[in-house]
């Protein structure tokens, strides 16, 4: 077989682990592998590179993706899906592994519906893909944020300040909640629950009343006030209809300072959360996903996505995986709330 691999959407640590695993397993079984560069853009423009044992050697610990990525949506171009299918044929591909989040896999699911032999691998630091317990990239991001919260604690404590940390999480508060629990945050704001400044300020005040002169508040970039728009850096929509989020941390920080009188600073972690070397968990998960993706291709189980359920790697349908976003488990948020004081 000739197997294509592409990585689409925002990059994340662990992408190279998946690429390496698919290539190693495929070549072991005497197949040929080709990398499609820059996500769906590379398929539309036939921009490819051969993937060999040599080209994937040493990539396991590297963040980002050796194939490059983009947020190109073939369905936003005239006859884009026809062109994708034509190029798939002309490149002599038998199958394609698409590694991505809801957008990339949404395209994969539609192309499968149009007859393309595709399997999916779930990637995103946001961990908001349905039908899998975890996406790879999430664990690394949570560890990065936790480390930053640890550092912010020492400076907040030295200055008797409140520090608001804005983290990624467009639709879901997974990173905010996991990293907030792990880092001992004193309040966490997530997209799933409208922001209530009275509750935030009362909780911070209660901490101060019991002698704690500093606090850490974690805010997911997609958190918002009831009946207010999301805070954005830019209103322009990308090809999947997303705005560039950012700014809610500063808004929350200034309200806290105004209402409580406590000196407040704001830190926006941004793309630091997506950069650098993957954690051991993400390397192992990416490797398991890559091997399973190859097995699905070998068994012609197209239209499927690899998924982690409990400790097993299974196959689920791409359609099911992309039908809806996996928002935060509110029981976990309730647990985090125990420590908001
Ligand atoms: O989807 C993953 C994500 O990291 C979101 O959390 C964030 O809103 C977005 O990507 C940022 O995208 P970009 O890299 O285009 O700025």
Write the secondary structure of 287-301 as one string of H (helix), E (strand) and C (coil).
HHHHHHHHHHHHCCC
- Region 85-108: mean pLDDT is 98
Burial class of residue 299 in the structure, from the number of CB atoms within 10 Å of its CB (0-12 exposed, 13-18 middle, 19+ buried): exposed
Tokens describing residue 126: 């946001």
How far, in Å, CA of 174 to CA of 198, rounded?
A: 23
Distance from residue 194's CA to the centre of ligand 1 (Å):
21
Q: Which helix (H) or strand (E) holds 318?
A: helix 318-323
- pLDDT interval class at 235 (50, 70, 90): confident
Q: Is it the case that residue 218 has pLDDT exceeding 90?
A: yes
Q: Give percent of the chain with pLDDT exceeding 70.
A: 100
The CB of 10 under 6 Å from ligand 1? The reply is yes
In order of their start, the domains of the chain are 2-136+278-321 (3.40.50.450), 139-275 (3.40.50.460)
Q: Are 252 and 189 in contact (CB under 8 A)?
A: yes
Q: Bridge partners of 124?
A: none
- At 138, the pLDDT band (50, 70, 90 cuts) reads very high
Q: Whose CA is nearest to atom 2 of ligand 1?
A: 10
Evaluate if residue 178 carries a pLDDT over 90. Answer: yes
Between CA 158 and CA 99, with CA 219 as vertex, the angle to 5 degrees is 125
The conformation of residue 46, written as its DSSP 8-state character, comes to T
Which tens digit of pLDDT belongs to each residue from 283-305? Answer: 999 999 999 999 999 999 999 99
Q: What is the pLDDT of residue 167?
A: 98
Q: Is the CB of 126 under 6 A from ligand 1?
A: yes
Say if ligand 1 is within 6 A of residue 169 CB: yes
**141 Cβ inside 6 Å of ligand 1:** no
Question: For the chain, what percent of residues have pLDDT higher than 90?
Answer: 99
Residue 168 Cβ inside 6 Å of ligand 1? The answer reads yes
What CA–CA distance (Å, rounded) separates 56 from 62? 11
- pLDDT exceeds cutoff 90 at 341: no
Helices (H) and strands (E) counted in the chain, each on its own, are 11, 13
Q: Which residues, 6+ apart, have CB-to-CB distance to 6 below 8 Å?
A: 35, 36, 37, 39, 40, 42, 43, 67, 96, 97, 98, 99, 100, 104
How far is ligand 1, taken at its centre, from the CA of residue 101, in Å?
Answer: 11
Nearest 5°: CA angle at 221, between 215 and 227?
100
Known catalytic residues? 126
What's the rounded mean pLDDT across residues 185-203? Answer: 98
d(CA 233, CA 324): 25
Give the pLDDT score at 200: 98
Beta bridge partners, 245, equal 232
The secondary structure of the chain in percent helix, strand, coil, rounded to multiples of 5, reads 40, 20, 40
C-alpha 325 to ligand 1 mean position (Å): 15
Span 317-333, pLDDT tens digits: 999 999 999 999 999 99
Span from the CA of 286 to the centroid of ligand 1 (angstroms): 20
Name 219's bridge partners.
166, 189
Mean pLDDT computed over 309-324: 97
Write down the residue that tokens 């820059």 correspond to: 38
Nearest to 246 by CA among 234, 237, 255, 263: 234
């Amino acid at each position: 077989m000739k197997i294509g691999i592409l990585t689409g959407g925002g990059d994340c640590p662990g992408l190279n682990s998946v690429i390496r695993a698919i290539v190693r397993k495929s070549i072991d079984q005497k197949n040929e592998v080709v990398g499609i560069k820059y996500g769906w853009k590379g398929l539309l423009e036939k921009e490819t590179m051969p993937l060999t044992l040599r080209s994937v050697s040493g990539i396991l610990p590297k963040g980002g993706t050796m194939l490059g990525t983009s947020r190109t949506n073939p369905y936003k171009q005239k006859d884009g899906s026809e062109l994708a299918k034509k190029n798939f044929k002309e490149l002599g591909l038998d199958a394609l592994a698409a590694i991505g989040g809801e957008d990339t896999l949404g395209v994969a699911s539609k192309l499968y519906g149009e007859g393309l032999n595709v399997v999916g691998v779930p990637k995103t630091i946001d961990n908001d893909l349905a039908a899998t317990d975890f996406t790879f990239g999430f664990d690394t991001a949570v560890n990065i944020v936790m480390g930053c919260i640890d550092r912010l604690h020492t400076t907040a404590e030295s200055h008797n300040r409140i520090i608001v940390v804005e983290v990624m999480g467009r639709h879901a508060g997974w990173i905010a909640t996991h990293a907030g629990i792990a880092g001992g945050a004193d309040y966490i704001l997530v997209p799933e629950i409208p922001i209530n400044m009275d509750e935030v300020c009362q909780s911070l005040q209660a901490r101060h009343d019991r002698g704690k002169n500093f606090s850490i508040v974690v805010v997911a970039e997609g958190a918002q006030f009831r009946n207010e728009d999301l805070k954005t850096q830019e209103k322009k929509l990308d090809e999947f209809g997303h705005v560039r989020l950012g700014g809610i941390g500063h808004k929350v920080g200034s309200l806290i300072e105004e209402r409580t009188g406590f000196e407040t600073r704001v830190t926006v972690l941004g793309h630091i959360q997506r950069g650098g070397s993957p954690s051991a968990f993400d390397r192992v998960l990416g490797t398991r996903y890559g091997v399973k993706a190859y097995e699905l291709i070998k068994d012609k189980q197209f239209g499927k996505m690899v998924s982690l359920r409990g400790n097993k790697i299974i196959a689920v349908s791409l359609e099911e995986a992309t039908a809806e976003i996996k928002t935060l488990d509110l029981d976990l948020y309730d647990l985090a709330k125990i420590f908001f004081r």
